[in-house]
Structure 1
Amino acid sequence: MEVDGDKVGMGEREALLQKAKLAEQAERYDDMASLMKTVTEKGGELSNEERNLLSVAYKNIVGARRSSWRVISSLEHKAEGLEEKQRLAKEYREKVEQELNNICQEVINLLDKHLVSSAQSAESKVFYLKMKGDYYRYLAEVASAEEKNKVVSHSQKAYQEAFDLAVKEMQPTNPIRLGLALNFSVFYFEIQDDSGAAIQLAKGAFDDAIAELDTLNEDTYKDATLIMQLLRDNLTLWTSNDAAAPADEQPDHEEEVKAA
């Protein structure tokens, strides 16, 4: 009996997606990322569901390392003068740093080789370019002095390309456009140390969305208003007297991506 290759392919893809959903429910995000990487490498444009599963998986595994890196860096700083403690903290920080770098590079490779080029809609392209900006930003957080300029430049370029396309093609209330504005403004504040640009971008996005709130439909209302609240929280933080507090004591909000 002849087997339809397309049906086999679809069946295999569906099995990978079901496993990825199981991994998400079990909070095994490394497994989830590996499964969604396999789906992505099979080629073709990802569906919205697949796109969100990929994003959630990598957001969780990179988020765990970013959090660990901040804690260990703080402990390393506090161990100043205690040579052995500081050495151990430095070694451990470098281990976490390497894991974080590997994850970010893996995501950027998927974006460059498969996702950005296969994106058919403006929304998909903005989503992936934003993701590229995010993962270069995470690299910038831990980059050495000689590497930092390069990854910061890549991050800004991806964010700017996404932003220009979003402004041209998407409603101000679109959650993907809002999430981009949120993360791009955090990039300006934390990475570029440019509070003026961060505030201008976040305020512009918030005001534009407020002006068109009546265009929101039921499906996107919750996501859009949540991101608008995060934009407002950051604006409050950045324009207050406490805005200069260290990032680990007063972290800025960035978008949390959840699966549909």
Structure 2
Amino acid sequence: MAAASSSPREENVYMAKLAEQAERYEEMVEFMEKVVAAAEGGEELTIEERNLLSVAYKNVIGARRASWRIISSIEQKEESRGNDGHVSTIRDYRSKIETELSSICDGILKLLDSKLIGSATSGDSKVFYLKMKGDYYRYLAEFKTGSERKEAAENTLSAYKAAQAGYRNYFPNLEMKYYKETVIPSLTFSFSQDIANGELAPTHPIRLGLALNFSVFYYEILNSPDRACNLAKQAFDEAIAELDTLGEDSYKDSTLIMQLLRDNLTLWTSDMQDDSAEEIKEAPKADE
């Protein structure tokens, strides 16, 4: 008997895998966007599909983020040398990269808001997509300025907080007061009670990845190393306390993120006056 033909959704998943192997990530994004479009009637993506989507976008955005950092560093050096002509050229080029960054972020954020978050039914998928939303607003906050940066930072914090809704006791009252009254007084906090701490164990790679990226947001965007260290340390300590309960299926992913948390803690608690150029670690491209 002839084998049943693959559905368009299955074919696009397969093509996305091929594109990943070929490191053609823009095409991988296109294939995964077709997968999302094929999930009709609010049907949720599978774990494999959501991870492929995450990998595709993370590679596409990652290349531009790296380019932006390199060009910004060159711009600073040329400014210090007084090479105004070069600086003007570099700024135009940086603006081109920023346009690409904005377009990529806008694309995935639109998918998240219009389809993915609303279709999520399990705790881990809700946290996964809300974390992803926070990540891409954070990427916008990395290069935006003025009111646009403030808006991106607010949206980042809102998404990360929503993902950690079950952590309501995770943050001391002083910290909540700090954000309500000092950082973003216009932000409205409204958290559901059914995700994060209640459904994801401290060793769950998605929960650990959320803590890792949230702490990076505190450190890099809000310039709050104390809060970054407190969040990272608490997440690490809670995971260590339950490490013996970690299953084989997620052991590798969880221990990798725990190592990244520890690496950042080591970097952040070192002498900040030496202007260390070490790379701050973020969560891997896909959290199982």
Q: Tell whether the structures are fold-level matches, with TM greater than 0.5.
A: yes
* Residue of structure 1 in register with 2:222 after alignment: 192
* Residue of structure 2 in register with 1:64 after alignment: 63
* Residue of structure 2 in register with 1:34 after alignment: 30
Query: Is 2:212 the partner of 1:213?
Result: no
Question: For 2:95 and 2:155, how far apart are their aligned partners in 1?
Answer: 23
**What whole-Å deviation, never above 9, does each CA across 1:29-69 have from its counterpart, x for those lacking one?**
00001110111122321000000000000000000000000
**Offset of residue 245 of structure 1:** 2.1
Query: Is 2:153 the partner of 1:152?
Result: yes
**Offset of residue 219 of structure 1:** 0.6
Question: For 2:120 and 2:38, how far apart are their aligned partners in 1?
Answer: 15
* Residue of structure 2 in register with 1:171 after alignment: 201
* Residue of structure 1 in register with 2:285 after alignment: 257
Contact 2:141–2:221 at 8 Å: present in 1 too?
Answer: yes
**Offset of residue 222 of structure 1:** 0.4
Which segment drifts farther, 175-184 or 73-82? 73-82
**What whole-Å deviation, never above 9, does each CA across 1:175-204 have from its counterpart, x for those lacking one?**
000000000000000000011111111001
**Higher helix proportion (structure 1 or 2):** 1
Q: Secondary structure at the match of 2:33?
A: helix
* Residue of structure 1 in register with 2:12 after alignment: 16
Question: For 2:274 and 2:259, how far apart are their aligned partners in 1?
Answer: 21
Residue type matched to 1:162 in 2? A
Question: For 2:274 and 2:27, how far apart are their aligned partners in 1?
Answer: 38
Residue type matched to 1:36 in 2? M
Task: Give matches, 1:71-150, under 5 Å.
Answer: 71-80=70-79, 81-150=82-151
Question: For 1:244 and 1:233, how far apart are their aligned partners in 2?
Answer: 17
Question: For 2:237 and 2:204, how far apart are their aligned partners in 1?
Answer: 13
**Offset of residue 243 of structure 1:** 6.8
Contact 1:199–1:238 at 8 Å: present in 2 too?
Answer: yes
Residue type matched to 1:207 in 2? D
**What whole-Å deviation, never above 9, does each CA across 1:144-185 have from its counterpart, x for those lacking one?**
212111110000000011012312221000000000000000
Question: For 2:126 and 2:89, how far apart are their aligned partners in 1?
Answer: 43
Aligned-CA RMSD value: 1.5
**Offset of residue 244 of structure 1:** 6.3
Contact 1:172–1:208 at 8 Å: present in 2 too?
Answer: yes
Contact 1:41–1:110 at 8 Å: present in 2 too?
Answer: no
Residue type matched to 1:18 in 2? Y
CA distance change for structure 1 residues 243 and 107 in 2, over 3 Å: closer, same or farther? farther
Percent of aligned pairs with the same amino acid:
55
**Offset of residue 78 of structure 1:** 1.0
CA distance change for structure 1 residues 243 and 226 in 2, over 3 Å: closer, same or farther? farther
The number of residues matched between the two structures is 251
Contact 2:205–2:287 at 8 Å: present in 1 too?
Answer: no
Q: Secondary structure at the match of 1:207?
A: helix
Which segment drifts farther, 105-114 or 237-246? 237-246
Question: For 2:125 and 2:83, how far apart are their aligned partners in 1?
Answer: 50
Contact 1:104–1:139 at 8 Å: present in 2 too?
Answer: yes
Question: For 1:184 and 1:203, how far apart are their aligned partners in 2?
Answer: 12
Q: TM-score, normalised by structure 2?
A: 0.84
Question: For 2:228 and 2:87, how far apart are their aligned partners in 1?
Answer: 34
**Offset of residue 258 of structure 1:** 4.2
Question: For 2:30 and 2:144, how far apart are their aligned partners in 1?
Answer: 25
Query: Is 2:257 the partner of 1:227?
Result: yes
Task: Give matches, 1:231-242, under 5 Å.
Answer: 231-242=261-272
Q: Secondary structure at the match of 2:7?
A: helix
Which segment drifts farther, 74-83 or 212-221? 74-83
